Amino acid sequence: MFRFPFKRIAPSLLKHRLPLFQLYNNKIASFSLAPQPLKNIQKDVPEYTKPNQDEMFIGMNGGQIFEAMMMQLGVEVVFGYPGGAILPIYDGIYNSPNFKFILPRHEQGGGHMAEGYARVTGKPGVLLVTSGPGATNTVTPLQDALSDGIPLIVFTGQVPTTAIGSDAFQEADVLGITRPCTKWNTMVSDISDLPRVLREAFHIATTGRPGPVLVDLPKDVTASILQIPCDSTPALPSMRRNRLRRRPDGIFEERIRQAADLINIAKKPLIYAGAGTLHCSDLLRQLATKANIPCTTTLQGLGAFDENHPLSMHMLGMHGSAYANYAMQNADLIIGLGARFDDRVTGNLKLFAPAAKKAAAEGTGGIVHFEILDKNINKIVESTVAVQGDTKVSLETIMPLIENKNENNSRKEWIDQCQTWKRDHPFEYFPSAPGAPIKPETIIQELNRQLEGNKENVIISTGVGQHQMWAAQYYNFTHPHTWVTSGGLGTMGFGLPSAIGAKIAYPDKIVIDVDGDGSLSMTAMELQTAAEYGINVKVLVLNNNFQGMVKQWQDLFYEKRYAGTKMHNPNWVKFAESMNCKGLFCDKNENLSSIIKEFLEYDDTPILLEVMVDEDEHVYPMVPAGKALDDMVIKDPKLYL
């Protein structure tokens, strides 16, 4: 008769457990069964390629192996939603003392929570869901993570291998569905592969340009018991290539020299920094200050360069600062660092960067592109010099070759020109008349004012729409990893769950989701998740009772025909209260400052502040579709009256 062998080998498991726990997880060694206060999480990403003892998993089922591997891989929190096909894994993690488990209200919410966690820590976010609808609900977070380069690891249950292809209950071709929206996906078809595949998944998600990975886990595989030793050494060919940090042909060094030459001779250089500089913001500052070069950032790069620094040109692009866009079009050298020339940044490509293109032809400048992903080089713009690799390594290597342009202020003319643009075209809006609705920009300015001096301890997330752009424009970012927003995919509903994920990583920080009424409506039930786990996020809803960004386009280009954009909202305060959160409301300019103060100081539960805003406000500057980057509507036409 078959007998469950777990009891027999349990003592050997215990023998392994303590040393391994300390070896791999000294950071979380303080976890115990008793509830622990949340602690801020360290940012160093563990080494996933360490080979594992071959025999320690013998006698364990898939769920137990999964639980042990999460511990070994340094996972501190798992977000997930259970179901039939993933039950063996859920059973394995039942009451695990080794990591926190968070149950969102929807798998999409869980995915964005994992992304929020990953975006502020640099460590992979983990999501564990069931087959069929559980898996398909993760498609949006997967694509979101792919677009923005976020390490997200999704484990999906799958029907037993014997039922695959039979249209079984809750069967979906998850590998097929998620192939285009993952960096890598795979199915584990034998339990002896499980430890190795888990290591590979973590390695792939976190190396090169980070991205999402999905591992499909058929129920019979995770329910079975490992009988033989298994080799968990990752076997991916790409791992061997990655070990060669530099190409042996000297190309990297040659390109670095060429890039340094251009940076040293350029008269009007501009740094254009993206998310690929968030992990090396110190080096970015060193380059800018040593070489005396103004710096603009992308939406995802906000925080990489201190926006209070005189060389900051703030965000560029469709709704970026006019001065950044002017600088981009007039620079003789664009130094693209960890950014990918997204269409929201370039405007009309044919008309993009004329001065840099001219300088490239004359050999005095051009476009230098530091980029980790081969495929992003020369994809949108032709680079004069391309340096492929981790921006951090490239910056470390190039710094000694960069001439100090500070001593004789040799770029004075160009810097003065940039300062003039800054002075002449600041972010500007038409203030509201007495008694008129509150302007959304005023709210962000007030938030910024009250948080000034404490920015390092504040994380802002957003939904997608006008509120997102106003947050990017009117809040001054000073530190990396303090801004969490869906850029590439532009996913409404991202704000609240990603704020929850960020707050789990940094419970001592103030985490504020600046949201729109439309975006919040998509994932608002996650407020209950926040309340249940005591994750005291703050939600600031800029309520214009509209999908404002789409309405803006309807106002400007579709004769105010508001097809499908009017929102009929719940009473947000009552909604928050019904979810065991505190609710605050503001519709008067004169109350705004004191209510924001109360909103920021409150910390007993999650809190939502609804502010009624002018529904007719538009985001400016705006580069209309098809126009050159500097062919913008700079400010509200009312400001010219």
Ligand X SMILES: Cc1ncc(C[n+]2csc(CCOP(=O)(O)OP(=O)(O)O)c2C)c(N)n1
Residues binding Mg ion (CB under 5 A): 516-518, 544, 546, 548
As measured in angstroms, the least distance from the Cβ of 632 to Mg ion is 23
Window 523-542: residues binding ligand X (CB under 6 A): 542
**Catalytic, out of 183, 219, 538, 635:** 219
Sequence length of the chain is: 641
**Catalytic, out of 76, 107, 371, 441:** 107
Which of 550, 573, 595, 612 touches ligand X by CB under 6 A? 550
Which of 312, 384, 476, 547 touches ligand X by CB under 6 A? 547
Q: Verify cis geometry, omega within 30 degrees of 0, for the bond prior to 621.
A: yes
Of 319 and 635, nearer to ligand X (C-beta) is 319
**Catalytic, out of 56, 60, 113, 549:** 549
Of 367 and 549, nearer to ligand X (C-beta) is 549
Of 481 and 618, nearer to ligand X (C-beta) is 618
- What ranges in 363-464 are assigned the alpha helix state H? 391-398, 412-424, 440-451
**Catalytic, out of 27, 55, 100, 170:** 170
The answer to whether residue 494 is catalytic is: no
As measured in angstroms, the least distance from the Cβ of 547 to ligand X is 3
Tokens of 477: 């970012």
Q: Is-contact 116 77, C-beta < 8 A?
A: no
Neighbours of 248 (CB within 10 A): 7
**What is the Cα 44 distance to its own chain's centre?**
17
Q: Is-contact 300 337, C-beta < 8 A?
A: no
In the Cβ-directed half-sphere of 300, how many Cα atoms lie within 13 Å? 26
As measured in angstroms, the least distance from the Cβ of 318 to ligand X is 13
Determine the residue type at 529. T
Window 92-121: residues binding ligand X (CB under 6 A): none
Window 434-493: residues binding ligand X (CB under 6 A): 463-467, 490-492
In the Cβ-directed half-sphere of 177, how many Cα atoms lie within 13 Å? 19
**Sheet holding 312-315: strands in order across?**
312-315, 295-297, 269-273, 333-337, 366-371, 385-388
Among Mg ion, ligand X, none, partner that 464 touches (CB below 5 to 8 angstroms by kind): ligand X
Of 319, 315, 307, 310, residue with least CA distance to 273: 315
Among ligand X, Mg ion, none, partner that 550 touches (CB below 5 to 8 angstroms by kind): ligand X
Among Mg ion, ligand X, none, partner that 268 touches (CB below 5 to 8 angstroms by kind): none
Strand blocks (E) in 45-151: 77-81, 100-102, 125-129
Among Mg ion, ligand X, none, partner that 527 touches (CB below 5 to 8 angstroms by kind): none
Which of 483, 546, 575, 599 touches ligand X by CB under 6 A? 546
As measured in angstroms, the least distance from the Cβ of 549 to ligand X is 4
The answer to whether residue 169 is catalytic is: yes
Stretch that binds ligand X, among 46-54, 306-314, 514-522, 579-587 (CB under 6 A): 514-522
Which of 519, 523, 529, 589 touches ligand X by CB under 6 A? 519
Residue labelled with tokens 């999964």: 66
Can you say whether the dihedral through the CA atoms of 411, 414, 418, 419 is positive or negative? positive
| Residue 243 to residues 203, 238, 247, 408, Cα–Cα distance (Å) | 12, 9, 10, 42
Among ligand X, Mg ion, none, partner that 317 touches (CB below 5 to 8 angstroms by kind): none
Of 556, 519, 563, 542, residue with least CA distance to 608: 542
442: buried, middle or exposed (CB in 10 Å: 19+, 13-18, 0-12)? buried
How many angstroms separate the CA atoms of 369 and 567, rounded?
43
Among Mg ion, ligand X, none, partner that 492 touches (CB below 5 to 8 angstroms by kind): ligand X
Of 149 and 495, nearer to Mg ion (C-beta) is 495
Among Mg ion, ligand X, none, partner that 519 touches (CB below 5 to 8 angstroms by kind): ligand X
Q: Does 549 bind ligand X (CB under 6 A)?
A: yes
Of 132 and 493, nearer to Mg ion (C-beta) is 493
Of 320, 274, 279, residue with least CA distance to 297: 274
Neighbours of 222 (CB within 10 A): 28
Q: Does 147 bind ligand X (CB under 6 A)?
A: no
- What ranges in 301-381 are assigned the alpha helix state H? 322-330, 343-346, 354-362
Among ligand X, Mg ion, none, partner that 549 touches (CB below 5 to 8 angstroms by kind): ligand X
How many angstroms separate the CA atoms of 435 and 606, rounded?
30
As measured in angstroms, the least distance from the Cβ of 609 to Mg ion is 15
As measured in angstroms, the least distance from the Cβ of 515 to ligand X is 7
As measured in angstroms, the least distance from the Cβ of 616 to ligand X is 11
Can you say whether the dihedral through the CA atoms of 282, 456, 142, 470 is positive or negative? negative
As measured in angstroms, the least distance from the Cβ of 413 to ligand X is 40
* Size, binding site for ligand X by CB under 6 A: 19
Which of 111, 548, 583, 606 touches ligand X by CB under 6 A? 548
As measured in angstroms, the least distance from the Cβ of 197 to Mg ion is 43
CA angle, residues 188, 190, 195, in degrees to nearest 5: 65
Of 61 and 491, nearer to ligand X (C-beta) is 491
Q: Does 518 bind ligand X (CB under 6 A)?
A: yes
Q: Is-contact 214 137, C-beta < 8 A?
A: no
How many angstroms separate the CA atoms of 377 and 354, rounded?
19
**Sheet holding 582-586: strands in order across?**
483-484, 458-462, 510-516, 538-543, 607-612, 582-586
Among ligand X, Mg ion, none, partner that 485 touches (CB below 5 to 8 angstroms by kind): none
Q: Give kind and range of the element (H or E) at residue 69.
A: helix 62-72
Of 384 and 544, nearer to Mg ion (C-beta) is 544
Of 573, 486, 499, 572, residue with least CA distance to 536: 499
**Catalytic, out of 36, 42, 53, 169:** 169
Among ligand X, Mg ion, none, partner that 207 touches (CB below 5 to 8 angstroms by kind): none
As measured in angstroms, the least distance from the Cβ of 493 to Mg ion is 13
Which of 544, 554, 589, 605 touches ligand X by CB under 6 A? 544
Of 525, 521, 542, 538, residue with least CA distance to 583: 538
As measured in angstroms, the least distance from the Cβ of 564 to ligand X is 8
The answer to whether residue 219 is catalytic is: yes
Of 106 and 203, nearer to ligand X (C-beta) is 106
Task: List, by residue number, the catalytic residues.
Answer: 107, 169-170, 219, 549
Given the rule CB under 6 A, which residues bind ligand X?
A: 463-467, 490-492, 516-519, 542, 544, 546-550
